[in-house]
Amino acid sequence: MAQEAGSATAEDSGLDTGRAEPRGSGRPAPPKGRGFPSAVARSGRVGGLDGLRTVAVALVLVYHVAPDVLPGGSVAVDVFFTISGFVITRLLLAEYARTGGVALLPFYRRRWLRLVPALLAVCAVCAILSVTTPLWGFDDSLPAAGLSALFLVNVVRAAEPGPYGDLTGPLAHTWSLGVEEQFYLLWPLALLVLLRHARARTVLLCTAALCALPVLWRCVLWQPDAAHRIYNGTDTRADQLLAGALVAVVLARLRADDPRLAVLRAWAGRLAWPALGLLALAAWRMPVTADAGPWTVAWYTVGFLCVAVLSAVLVAALELRPGGGLSRLLSLTPLTWVGRNLSYGVYLWHYPVVRLLASLGMKDGLLPATAVLTLLMALLSYYVIEAPFLRRARRPAPGAAARQPAV
C-alpha cells in the first residue's frame, strides 16, 4: 500500500528513441533498457491512486468493524493488490529504461524501510498488551507478532481448513502484507530475467500469461475445505497483483503518440465508472467469506480475476485520464494526502484498535471510535516512524553510488 515515486525529464531519462546515433556524433550510445519508451515518463505519482487507497482502506475498516454493513468489504484488499502490482512494476521498468538494469538490493532495502519498521511497532504493541493486560483481544499474541513480523500470517491462515483459529489474533489482517511481500520478493526477479532475455513484447505476453495461471490453479484446488488456502495463498492471489503489473508494462510500451494509447485512454474513460460501480456492488452485497453456494464457487475461482480486471481498469483510467471526473474526485487533497501518508498506518492499526475497543466492552459507537483512534495511531506512526525511515529509503545506501549494483 505504499508508493514510491521518481521523475526525470525526457532529456535525461535514458529513453530509447529507436534511432541509432550516427558514428562520431559525440552523443552517448542508447541505453540498454530498450522497448519501454514511456517507462520513465510514467513513473511519477498518480493523485487518483492515492485517493483510491483512502477509499479502499476505509472500506476495509468498516468491513472489520461492521461486516453486516459491507459483507464484501474485503474486496478493497484486492484493489490494493492491483495498485501495488502496478506501482512496483512501473518503478522497476523506469529503472530499467534509465540504466539498462534493476538494482535489486536497493529495491529490497527501500521496501524494508517503507514497510517493516511500522509493522514491527504494531507487533510490539500487541505483544506488550498480551503480556501486561488481561484484554481477551490480545491473548497469546506473541506468536502472532512473530508470524506477522516474518510476513507468514497468510501461510498460517492458508493451512487452516476449518474456521480460522486465534493464533494470529489482532494481527490476522497482516495476511495481505504477507502476500504482497512474497510477491515483491519473487516478481522483481522474474521481471528482471524477462527483461534480460526477452524482447519487450515477449515481456508483455509473458506477464499476461502469468495472470491466467492463478485462475487455472484455483480451479484445480477448489473445494469447500480449500477456501482458506485459495484466499490466503500468494500463488492463488498473484493474478490480482500481476493485473496491475500488466497495466504498467502495457503503458510503458506505448509512446505518447501511439494511436493504441488513444484507444486505451478512451475505453478506460468509458469503463472507469462502471468498474467502480461493480466493485462497490461487490463490497455491498457479496459475502466474500460466507458460504453463498454457487456464488462462492465462482468468486473463489474466476471472481478474483474479475475483480483484478475491474481494478486494472480503474488504475488505467486514473493514470491515463488525470483530468477525468473520477480522477478529479479521487485527487481531492484530503483523499490524496491520507492515501499517500496514512493509508498504510490505518491498515496496520485498525484491526488491533477494533480488538482493543471490543475487549474493553465497547459496542455503541464502535465504528466512529475505531476510525478516530485508528487515525490518531496512523498519524503517530507516520510522523514518528514512517516518515524518518522514508527519508532514509530515499537516500542511497552507503557506497551504493560507488558500487552501482545494478543487476
Tens of pLDDT, residue by residue over 37-47, are 999 987 778 99
pLDDT in tens, 137-151: 999 899 999 999 999
User: Three cell numbers at 165?
Assistant: 483459529
Residue 358, C-beta contacts closer than 8 angstroms, at least 6 positions apart: 137, 366
Q: How high is the pLDDT of residue 161?
A: 79
Q: Which burial class, exposed, middle or buried, applies to 17 when counting CB atoms under 10 A from its CB (0-12, 13-18, 19+)?
A: exposed
User: Three cell numbers at 41?
Assistant: 515518463
pLDDT in tens, 212-248: 999 999 999 999 889 999 999 999 999 999 999 999 9
Q: CA 237 to CA 77: how far, in whole Å?
A: 11
* pLDDT band with cut points at 50, 70 and 90 for residue 163: confident
Of 295, 333, 292, 346, which Cα lies nearest the Cα of 80?
A: 346
Find the DSSP H helices in 103-257: 104-132, 142-149, 153-158, 175-197, 200-221, 227-232, 234-253
Q: How high is the pLDDT of residue 7?
A: 33
Average pLDDT of the segment spanning 356-372: 95
* pLDDT band with cut points at 50, 70 and 90 for residue 397: low
Residue-level length of the chain: 407
Average pLDDT of the segment spanning 197-207: 95
Q: CA 323 to CA 297: how far, in whole Å?
A: 39
The mean of the pLDDT values for the chain is 88
Look at residue 6 and tell me whether its pLDDT is greater than 80.
no
Of 19, 228, 197, 195, which Cα lies nearest the Cα of 104?
A: 195
**End-to-end Cα distance, the chain:** 26
Look at residue 49 and tell me whether its pLDDT is greater than 90.
yes
- Dihedral (CA of 384, 390, 393, 396) sign: negative
Please check whether residue 333 is in contact with residue 317, taking contact to mean a CB–CB distance below 8 angstroms: no
Angle at 100 between CA 97 and CA 101, to 5 degrees: 105
Q: How high is the pLDDT of residue 399?
A: 53
Q: How high is the pLDDT of residue 292?
A: 65
Q: How high is the pLDDT of residue 31?
A: 47
Q: How high is the pLDDT of residue 1?
A: 54
Determine how many CB atoms are found less than 10 A away from the CB of residue 397.
15
Phi first, then psi: give them for residue 7, nearest 5 degrees: -145, 155
Residue-wise burial string across 168-184, b where 16 or more C-beta atoms lie within 10 A, e elsewhere: bbbbbbbbbbbbbbbbb
Of 358, 351, 228, 221, which Cα lies nearest the Cα of 289?
A: 228
Q: CA 227 to CA 224: how far, in whole Å?
A: 6
Q: CA 295 to CA 277: how far, in whole Å?
A: 19
